[in-house]
Structure 1
Amino acid sequence: MSDPQVAMLMLALLVATILLGFPIAFTLLAMGIGFGFYAYYSPDVPFFENTIFDLTVNQTYSVISNDVLVAVPLFLFMGYIVERANIVDKLFFSLNIAARRVPASMAVAALGTCAIFATAVGIIGAVVTLMGLLAFPALLKAGYDRQFAAGVICAGGCLGILIPPSIMLILYAATAGVSIVQAYAAAFFPGLLLAGLYMIYVMGRALLNPRLAPKPPKEATEMPMRQVLWMMLTSFVPLAVLILAVLGAILFGLATPTEAASLGAFGGLLLAAAYRTLDWEMLKSSVYLTVRTSAMVCWLFVGSWTFSSVFSYLGGHEIIKEFVLGLNLSPVMFLILAQVIIFLLGWPLEWSEIIIIFVPIFLPLLEPFGVDPLFFGILVALNLQTSFMTPPMAMAAYYLKGVSPPEVQLVDIFKGSFPFLFIVVLAMVLLYNFPDIALWLPNYVYGR
Structure 2
Amino acid sequence: MWDWLADHLSVVMFAALTFIMFCGYPVAYVLGGVGLGFGALGILLDVFQPVQFFNIIPRIWGQAVQNGVLIAVPMFIFMGTMLERSGVADELLKALQVLTRRIPGGLAMSVTIMGTIMAATTGIVGASVIMLTLIALPPMLAAGYSKELSVGTIASAGTLGILIPPSIMLVIMADLMSLSVGTLFTAAIVPGVLMSLIFLIYIGIFAFLRPQSAPPLHEDIGPKTTPEFLRMIFKSFLPPAFLIVVVLGSIFGGFATPTEAGGMGSIGAMLLAWWNKRLNWKTIREVIDSAALTNGLVFFIVFGATLFSYVFRALGGDDVVAELLKAMGINTGWETLIFVMVLVFLMGFFFDWLEICLIVMPIFAPILKVIDFEPHIDENRHFLAWFVVLVAVNLQSAFLTPPFGFALFYMKGTVPPSVTMQHIYRGIIPFVALQMTTVAVCMIWPEIILWLPRYVGFLD
The alignment's TM-score, normalised by the length of structure 2, stands at 0.93
1:361-380 counterparts in 2 under 5 A?
361-370=363-372, 372-380=383-391
In terms of mean alpha carbon deviation, does 30-39 or 99-108 score higher? 30-39
Do the aligned partners of 1:4 and 1:316 also contact (CA within 8 Å) in 2? no
1:426 aligns with 2:429: no
Give the partner amino acid of 1:27. V
Change over 3 Å in CA distance of 1:66–1:41 after alignment to 2: farther
d(CA) in 1 for partners of 2:223 and 2:212? 22
1:13-412 counterparts in 2 under 5 A?
13-40=16-43, 50-51=50-51, 54-62=54-62, 63-221=64-222, 223-325=224-326, 327-370=329-372, 372-412=383-423
1:414 aligns with 2:428: no
Change over 3 Å in CA distance of 1:201–1:8 after alignment to 2: same
1:135-172 Cα distance to aligned partner (Å, 9 max, x none): 01110011100101110001100101110000111111
Give the partner amino acid of 2:367. L
Do the aligned partners of 2:137 and 2:150 also contact (CA within 8 Å) in 1? yes
d(CA) in 1 for partners of 2:218 and 2:256? 47
Number of aligned pairs? Answer: 443
d(CA) in 2 for partners of 1:42 and 1:21? 29
1:64-113 Cα distance to aligned partner (Å, 9 max, x none): 11122121111111111111111100000001001111111110111111
Give the partner amino acid of 1:213. A
Q: CA deviation at 1:328?
A: 4.5
Q: CA deviation at 1:368?
A: 2.7
Give the partner amino acid of 1:197. I
d(CA) in 2 for partners of 1:256 and 1:399? 32
Change over 3 Å in CA distance of 1:334–1:225 after alignment to 2: farther
d(CA) in 2 for partners of 1:222 and 1:232? 10
Do the aligned partners of 2:9 and 2:42 also contact (CA within 8 Å) in 1? no
Change over 3 Å in CA distance of 1:416–1:367 after alignment to 2: same
SS state of the match for residue 215, structure 1? coil
- 2:377 maps to what in 1? none
1:162-187 Cα distance to aligned partner (Å, 9 max, x none): 10000111111111112211000000
Do the aligned partners of 1:40 and 1:51 also contact (CA within 8 Å) in 2? no
Do the aligned partners of 1:348 and 1:392 also contact (CA within 8 Å) in 2? yes
d(CA) in 2 for partners of 1:421 and 1:167? 21
d(CA) in 2 for partners of 1:55 and 1:368? 25
Change over 3 Å in CA distance of 1:262–1:405 after alignment to 2: same
Q: CA deviation at 1:59?
A: 3.6
Q: What is the aligned-residue RMSD (CA, Å)?
A: 1.8
d(CA) in 1 for partners of 2:160 and 2:313? 33
Do the aligned partners of 1:4 and 1:319 also contact (CA within 8 Å) in 2? no
In terms of mean alpha carbon deviation, does 85-94 or 58-67 score higher? 58-67
Mind listing any 5+ residue stretches in structure 2 that lack a counterpart?
A: 374-382
Do the aligned partners of 1:41 and 1:50 also contact (CA within 8 Å) in 2? no
Q: CA deviation at 1:321?
A: 2.1
Do the aligned partners of 1:389 and 1:396 also contact (CA within 8 Å) in 2? yes
Overall identity of the aligned pairs, in %: 35
Mind listing any 5+ residue stretches in structure 1 that lack a counterpart?
A: 44-48
SS state of the match for residue 108, structure 2? helix
